[in-house]
Structure 1
Amino acid sequence: MELEKAYEVIRNSNPRLRFCEWFDENSSMWNFELHSHPYHELIYYVEGKGNADVSGTKLNFSLYDTTVYPACREHLDKRLPERPREIICLWIDMPELVIEEPIRLHERDGILGNAFRLVYQEGKRDKRDELLLEHAMKVLMLMVLREAKEAVEGSRMLDCVIEYIKNHYAERISLDELAELEHISKSYLSRKFKERTGLSVISYINRFRIERSRQFLMMSCLSIDEIAYQVGFDSPKYFHRVFKEITGESPAGFRRQFKTSG
């Protein structure tokens, strides 16, 4: 469903909270059998990590992740003893809203966690305010769908950036240039890139260049300084330092070892 259409559906809906609990894996409420629910199930991971099988696809979850299982979608939770989970679990009855695939989001700034807590706190009140609860559920669902859309767009954006790095690693590449490619800020690119790869943009470029240099060291007769320039380093001295930081040995030592073993 298009995001704008989904927004309209949510605004005009009359959601009902059918389940609202905060519990951990030791609770009898946790279902480790293959199962589904007649309502959209939204889960926020307060503690721990785990995974689930959804229609043959494995989904991994960790601290502060949000998961949404569409209504009637079968899923099988799997226990990881070393990191027991604690979750906020909500079943939201909103049949007008069609969610086609499970959603997994990683918390960035605490906003989703706060939205879950607001629904939970109001849902557990002895005399809950139905208007406030309805509004809180709508806000939570809107935020989840917006974050999901941004996650998809961010993934596509990073695919383009990574492909550009692979095709232009031998050239000078700046963060400004990469950000301009996708018309985004440098700070946004840096944050999303680190979330995706676990590395800064510069570290990723250097690692890719070092991997290419290893191939040149093994397969070519170029000098080490020539290889440094060939893979995009401005300075052979900097190339030597980065190569040793990443591989644990010098370029000359790596070449020597390859020739000896060959």
Structure 2
Amino acid sequence: MAAETHFSIERIKRTEHFSMASDHMHDSYEIYYLLSGERYYYIDNRLYALQAGDLIFIHKHGLHRTTNKGETSHERILINFDETFISPSLDMQETRELLVEQHFLLRPGEQEGAVIVGMLEALLGEMDRNDPFRKIYQRSLLVQLLVYIRRLHNVQYMPIVPEVSGKQQRVYAIIEYIEAHYAENLMLDQLSSAFYISSTYLCKIFKQTTGFTIVEYIRYVRIRQAQQYLRETRWPVTRIAEQTGFDSIAHFGRVFRQLTGRSPLQYRKQFLRENNADKAAT
């Protein structure tokens, strides 16, 4: 059975303060284009200050969140898709070249931005059509968009650099510590002692910089690693729970479902099904 394809695109304008309320990661790829306003965007363990015209490509399984910056009003276009949506138009090598296994951020010039907006508006226009060619044309437009932004990325066209201050550097160090020690019984007091700051201040600067609480981020790191084990090993779920720092299989299953929308076994079965479908297509 062929894997189910996924594609969605939406354009939203907000005139009031808006920050994403919870952890956000998914099995699809994401393209975020900021049409107007300013936003803080947390991605790949770093905080970025976005301005109108900035574009972000987010690899699947990446943690990301947007929060307020500057004026309350902002408008953006958001695309979510999986590789099975574009794969009918490409071979496996071409798909891998387009869908690089990393996030990247671009600040295109005015001319390049106009080209990107034109492609995005064409994709949005297709959402209102109801004919047998809509999906084919959407796929074609998305492939064109991916090729265009990959070309910009390959020549490192005005890459956006992360925000860096003394406070943020300290938070980045805390993040690196969590990434290295997620399998341990991490406690807030342990983190505050390791970085010689009070628990209250640690929680404050971590939330301000990333938009996440310490507990939320530890959960994300553990589940991200659990997903990798589910994809790359045949370990039983109980062993994966232990290896990723959970104190019980019930707690692991509950958090995994909260963050991914499915159980660990459902996640593994879906991955195996899609992987086998890809192999059968070659």
Shorter-normalised TM range? 0.3 to 0.5
Q: Could you tell me the TM-score, scaled by structure 2's length? A: 0.44
Higher RCO (C-alpha 8 Å, min separation 6): 2
